[in-house]
Amino acid sequence: MKRVDLVVIGAGPAGMAAATTAAEHGLGVTLLDEQSRPGGQIYRDVDRAAAKRGGILGPDFQHGATLTRALRDSAVEHITGAVVWAIEDSFRISYTKESRGAQIEADRILLATGALERPMPVPGWTLPGVMTAGAAQILLKQSGVVAKRAVLVGSGPLLYLIAAQMVRAGSPPLALVETQSRADLTRATKYAGGALRAWPYLAKGLKLMTEISRARVPRHTGATGIAIEGEGRAEIVRFEAGGRTHRIACDTVLLHHGVVPNTQAARSIGVSHRWNADQAAFVPVLDHWGCSEKAGVYIAGDGAGIGGAEVAEVAGQLAALQIATEAERLAEASRDKFAAPLLKKRARDMAIRPFLDAAYPPAPEALLPGDATIICRCEEVTAGEIRRYAGLGCLGPNQTKAFGRPGMGPCQGRYCGLTVTALLSDALEQTPDETGYYRIRPPLKPVTLSELAEMDVPPQRAKE
């Protein structure tokens, strides 16, 4: 079995930057990624999409091509289409590629698994025609498909970016239905000093909002009572705002109220996590280099806490510098010299996060949905059932599996885990840290028996 100095999992900004930097300092690096091309979600298919749709997607997206170029020019072994489904304590990594199982061992592992869109369970969110805003953006990036007659619902800067991109593509959204309120913005003003340190981000946001305004896209803020209605598909978004009920007829509904770290892989190998109240999500416990308490395990990018693409890139570089130092390929003094401007940039870029977290909180009614709302789509478990389990003595997410199978479907709790924790914490009157999260075990992603059977078969024989 092949063994390398470092395996990086995920080829987004953090993974690409980490792999390239580590290779520059003499480490043997293998980069495993599910996608067929590097870029992750934020720079998805950037090498093709930037040439075809760069004007629509914007300069920030096109920046991803500098990372993919550096990756191609490096000595990194980049394995595409690799679905990682198990990581053992010995740092043996099992993955599937082209319907065959495979394994690789490493001295160190860097997880760059990025973020997931926070699920937004509201009445009707399981209807056909409803998807996350990020999914709609992936369609635009990878296939040039733009959602038609769409309403954007939720909160956060990503809504403005996607709305502006839709305007540029000639299919502006019918409306933005935003859940953040004027009171949220007032609370956020105490972080204005930090936000001004990162003024380029504010300037970008104002530019996006100007584009949306010029396209005459209606905006409704402080929306509550959001529900999606329709016979067999999404047809209407209903909500309360400005003291009255609104109903917007549409063909597509795009939901978004923030992103959260994808912690599945980290949890599967026992990395400790803590609740971050500002981001309303669990984050791994790391030092400033991205090193976890488990020796040899590093995490960089949004999987370590939400910071955005530029912060993720910097975090990947910082982690790689520390890994190179531990591997005795880089002296500490050299590490610190390379790291100094990176640490400065990260601090400046992260200064806006408290303002954004306060100004665009997740929608309260989607964090604690009504009893009839499905929260586990895989197993069709409702919020009311989770509350009932708490009343029957269920104390944590793992126990809910015995009561009604939430978290046991194909997504393995990726999309219902935080909601289950929130519902139980509320019902049991305890903190999310006390309530906990699902215990994640392999396989992290579905794997077939045939893929396992082919694991030790030589490639030539497998083709026969």
Q: What is the 3-state secondary structure (H, E, C) of 6-74?
A: EEEECCCHHHHHHHHHHHHCCCCEEEECCCCCCCCCCCCCHHHHHHHHHHHHCHHHHCHHHHHHHHHCC
Nearest C-alpha neighbor of 140 from the set 250, 62, 44, 205 = 44
Positive or negative, the CA dihedral 69, 70, 73, 78 is: negative
Residue pLDDT, tens place only, 250-299: 999 999 999 999 999 999 999 999 999 999 999 999 999 999 999 999 99
Q: How confident is the model at residue 460 (pLDDT cuts 50, 70, 90)?
A: low
Average pLDDT over residues 132-159: 94
The residue to which tokens 């289409």 are assigned: 81
User: How many Cα atoms occupy the beta-carbon half-sphere of 197 within 13 Å?
Assistant: 15
The contacts found for 200-208 with CB under 8 angstroms, 24 or more apart, are 201/349, 201/352, 202/352, 204/60, 205/157, 205/160, 208/157, 208/160, 208/161, 208/163, 208/164
- What angle (nearest 5°) sits at the alpha carbon of residue 291, between those of residues 349 and 19? 75
Residue pLDDT, tens place only, 66-78: 999 999 999 999 9
Q: Cα–Cα distance between 255 and 110 in angstroms, integer?
A: 31
What pLDDT is recorded for position 457?
59
Average pLDDT over residues 320-337: 97
- What angle (nearest 5°) sits at the alpha carbon of residue 178, between those of residues 177 and 184? 160
For residue 153, list its beta bridge partners.
Answer: 177, 255
Strands (E), 285-414: 297-299, 374-376, 381-382
Q: Cα–Cα distance between 14 and 304 in angstroms, integer?
A: 10
Q: What is the pTM of this model?
A: 0.94
Residue pLDDT, tens place only, 191-230: 999 999 989 999 999 999 999 999 999 999 999 999 999 9
**pLDDT above 70 for 407:** yes
Q: Cα–Cα distance between 218 and 243 in angstroms, integer?
A: 16
Average pLDDT over residues 373-392: 96
Tell which wins on pLDDT, 460 or 32: 32
Residue pLDDT, tens place only, 103-134: 999 999 999 999 999 999 999 999 999 999 99
Give kind and range of the element (H or E) at residue 103: strand 100-111
Residue 263 one-letter amino acid: T
Q: Cα–Cα distance between 88 and 297 in angstroms, integer?
A: 12
Mean pLDDT of the chain: 95
